[in-house]
Every structure is written in C-alpha cells, then in structure tokens.
Amino acid sequence: MAEDMAEMVAAARPTRASLEVCPLTPTLGAEVRGVRLCGDLSSATVAAIRDALLRHRVVFFRGQDHLDEAGHEGFARLLGPLVPHPTVPPVAGTGTVLDIDGEKARASYWHTDVTFRAAFPQFCVLRSVIVPPIGGDTLWADAAGAHATLPPVLRGLAEQLRALHSNAFDYAQTRPGATARHGRYHADVFASVVHEAVHPVTQVHPLTGERALVLGGFVSRFLDVTAAQSKYLLAILQDHVTRPENTVRWRWSPGDVAIWDNRATQHRAIDDYGDQPRILRRVAVAGPASVGVDGRHGVEVRAGSPGAGETVQPATSARMR
C-alpha cells in the first residue's frame, strides 16, 4: 500500500515539459526550439520556459509570426501580471503592448527597462514585426554574472552603493546621432512625466536569490559620493557589466520572440540600420520593488511630475537617505 501511495503522489506532482534549449554562449542566452507560443500553453511548458529563462537570463524563439498583439499579451500573461509602460501609451486596442519603432526612438544605449520606478518589470517579452535586411541586432549583458566576477573589493563597494535612476536625461548626449524627431519623442512622450527612483546598485534577485548589478542608462548618479566620484565609479561598474565576454547578440528575423530576465540583464539595440524600418513590440511582466543585500528596498522619490523634456538635476543624498 505504501508503494501504491508513493506512485499516486509522484503522478500528482507537476512535471516539466521537455524543451530543446540550445545555449548561445557559455553563460548568457539560449535558443528554445519546438515551442509554439500562445496563451494556452500547458503549465509544464510554461514552467520549462521559466526555468530556461532564469538559467540563461535571455531566451529566444524563432518562427513565432502567428502571434498578434492579443496572442503576445496572452502568452506573456502566463509569466505573471502585465504592466504598461508608465509614460508611453500602448498600441491601440491593447492594454500593455509597447510599440518600439525606429522611426520614433532608438534605445541604442545600455539599460534595464523602467528602473526609474521602484518596482520595475521582472520579465520582458519582445516580438519582432519588421526588421531591416541588415543591422538592427540587439545585445544583452549579464548583470548577475557581472556581479559574481567583480573583484572582491569592488563587489563589496557595489553592495553598499545606492543610485538615483531617472527617465529624464540628456538624450542628445546619450545618442549624438539622434534625429530631431527622436529628440522630440523623448522629450514629449518618454519623458513627458518624470519618474525617479533610488535602487541598491546590487539587487538580490526576487526569484533566484542571485545578486545582480542594477545600472544602465537611467542612472543619474550614486548617492553619498560626489558627482565626479559617481561618474568614475559608474564607468568602472558599467564597463564591467558590458564587456564582450559578458554579452550575447541576436540577429532578428520577422516573428522572433525574445524573453529576458529584466532583473539580471541589461540590453541595447544597435543603431546601424540607417533609415530602414524596424518595428518590434514589447510586453512587460510586473515585478516587485528591488531589494539590496542589506534588506533595504528601492524607493520612488519622484513620480508623476510634468517633464516637458527637462533634464533632471541630481538630487542631494540627504534628500534620499
């Protein structure tokens, strides 16, 4: 009878679907094959995709051109509650689909999505619609692996630092080759409402417990150090995150889908495709506020202020301790 009971318990346990997961580098990125993404995948398949995502940090799926906006949202919802972008309106007829059109703006700088909010996305699901024949690839960098490979002295420093993140910054300086239209879009849409948040530079991952560096292009400055010190420290840490051996590059085809762990990576779109059309759509899965190694959470210090394209001046550390 005990053996029968054991068999019944084993049969009742959820199982993991068997997926073909092909790593793209030794540490970051994998292509997942043999899956048709949709909103009614089995729980075992979703669990297997999540496992691959947490292990490889970014996973890619070819040939998903059957997805439309509703199917995109339906699949992403299997990973968790969806959250719209805080300033950019969603694609018409959807609640959360973000239009990424190279004619409007180009995020050709390293960043982690929406870190200017205290609770920023856990996962992001990006789908290609129109891609240029040459160029327009996307790079990802391993922010968790970067923390693990920091020299111990720098790792200890990174675990003490906190940083101010903002969606209002000098777009022309960040992208010197940006067109006037890109600059207007940043000022009038992306930074129309200014958000600021303070995060621990080293975050404890909410699902894996790993430690990862939360940096990227939305960092305005570090707290409790001078502006000059902040600039140099940021350059040292950011360069470590994005060194070539810490990255993976994806060449898009129409219908590709990428899912990344937004709490363990940075990414960057390469602006090398001239005036060719490039349109992708992104859906974000909600995540909790960041948590540092000392247990302190990320906090919102400014939300909902009219931006009108202003560039935020770094706040004093006394204001945000």
- 232-241 pLDDT tens trace: 999 999 999 9
Average pLDDT over residues 191-208: 91
Residue with tokens 């199982």: 15
What is the rounded distance in angstroms from the CA atom of residue 139 to the CA atom of residue 318? 36
Q: Which of 55-59, 71-75, 189-193, 310-314 has the lowest mean pLDDT?
A: 310-314
Report pLDDT digits (tens) over 149-182. 999 999 999 999 999 999 885 544 555 566 666 5
In the predicted structure, residue 210 carries a pLDDT above the cut 80:
yes
Domain 86-314 has CATH 3.60.130.10: yes
* pLDDT of res. 11: 41
Average pLDDT over residues 180-193: 60
Burial 249-258 (b: 16+ CB within 10 A, else e): ebebeebbbb
Report domain extents, the chain: 86-314
> Rounded to two decimals, what is the model's pTM?
0.86
State what percent of residues in the chain have pLDDT above 70: 81
Q: Which residues are catalytic?
A: 111, 113, 267, 282
Q: Which residues pair with 247 in a beta bridge?
A: 141
* 236 sits in which H/E element: helix 227-241
pLDDT at 9: 35
Q: What is the mean pLDDT of residues 130-157?
A: 97
Average pLDDT, whole number, for the chain? Answer: 87
Q: What angle do CA 66, 70, 75 make, to 5 degrees?
A: 75
